[in-house]
Amino acid sequence: MNLTVQTDLRGLNEFQSQLFGALLGQGKAGDGDAQRFLKIETGQLAKEIATQLGPKSLGKAESKIKSEAKQTFFSIQPEVGVFTGSRAGTGDIKWLFAYKHKGGSALVGDDPEDFMPGLDIAAGKEIMRRSNKKRDAWRLIGTRGKGTNQQSIYKIERVITKASVVLGVVKSIKQKAGQLKASFGYTASELGGWNSVPSWVSRHFSGLVSGKAILNRSQEHSVSNPFIEFGSRARGVVSNQKINSAIIRAYQARCRISIAKLKKIMAGHTYDWNTGRVFKPQSIPTT
């Protein structure tokens, strides 16, 4: 699913007639002040949406990915001998291994369907995306024996697979970190609203033109109805309520800011076409 935002100057209802009287360029045939204002404000809106969306940095993205991987998978090292045959059991728990520690010994198992030593990276990414992340990897489910022979029995609340697969999943997801942010950052950059885009975000731009980014400028220079439509096809922009809410908040805030700017412009203030700021001209002393 897609989410698009249509930035339409006439959508600022109470200022329809005043806006076009104050901002439409004289003799510029559709390339006047109203259209320039639209481009600048839309670029700033796209930047605000992009910066609102996570991750805040590539380092934070990597930390989150690694944390989620730990909450999804448990890596079996090659040197760890996993029980096979009758020792592994045939019930609702697959017994993996036993070990001794200072306080006694432990027997460790897992759900049979979560034992996936042959998992590939693509399937691992899908499992990690759909997984209900669990904080505690090991859950004590009972004991057997008494005294010094007592053995604690644990169940691992994770998908069991090879360490190399987990590393591959983390690496693959990290390479895509910033795509959501870039799907709006691309519009901001194209409209001049974001000139210093972080490289870990802009690296996705070349693949976004016909992919996740939506940018329609066909009516940008319309004399009677200028608007720019932009949005994203990135995963989560519609289905993820947190992402959707952040986009809506940014849009509503930019509408309020734009209306405030228009009020000042119509009251005689000057609009800075380079920064989008509005300021009151200094009075010129008369002699």
185-232, pLDDT tens digit by residue? 999 999 999 989 999 999 999 876 557 888 999 988 887 778 888 888
pLDDT at 109: 92
For residue 160, pLDDT over 70 is answered with: yes
| Pair 188, 205: CB distance under 8 Å | no
What is the overall mean pLDDT for the chain?
82
Tokens for 287, please give them: 């002699």
pLDDT grade for 73, boundaries at 50, 70 and 90: very high
Give the model confidence (pLDDT) of 112-156 as tens digits. Answer: 999 998 999 999 999 998 887 766 888 999 998 887 788 899 999
Instruction: Quickly list DSSP for 164-185.
Output: HHHHHHHHHHHHTTTHHHHHHH
For residue 7, pLDDT over 50 is answered with: no
Give the span between the Cα atoms of 271 and 261, in whole angstroms. 8
| Pair 213, 19: CB distance under 8 Å | no
Give the span between the Cα atoms of 155 and 190, in whole angstroms. 52
Quote the Cα angle for 105-111-112, to 5°. 110
| Pair 48, 254: CB distance under 8 Å | yes
pLDDT grade for 79, boundaries at 50, 70 and 90: low
pLDDT at 173: 95
HSE-up of residue 84 (Cα within 13 Å, Cβ side): 3
pLDDT grade for 26, boundaries at 50, 70 and 90: very low
For residue 285, pLDDT over 80 is answered with: no
In angstroms, what CA-CA distances link 224 with 10, 39, 65? 9, 15, 48
Q: Which amino acid is at 246?
A: A
pLDDT at 283: 52
pLDDT at 62: 95
HSE-up of residue 142 (Cα within 13 Å, Cβ side): 4
pLDDT grade for 18, boundaries at 50, 70 and 90: very low
HSE-up of residue 174 (Cα within 13 Å, Cβ side): 17
Q: Where are the beta strands (DSSP E) in the chain?
A: 3-8, 73-76, 94-101, 104-110, 138-144, 151-156, 159-162, 213-216, 227-232, 270-271, 278-279
Give the model confidence (pLDDT) of 225-280 as tens digits. Answer: 788 888 888 888 888 888 888 888 888 888 888 888 888 877 888 888 888 888 88
Among 201, 199, 144, 202, which Cα is nearest to 177's? Answer: 201
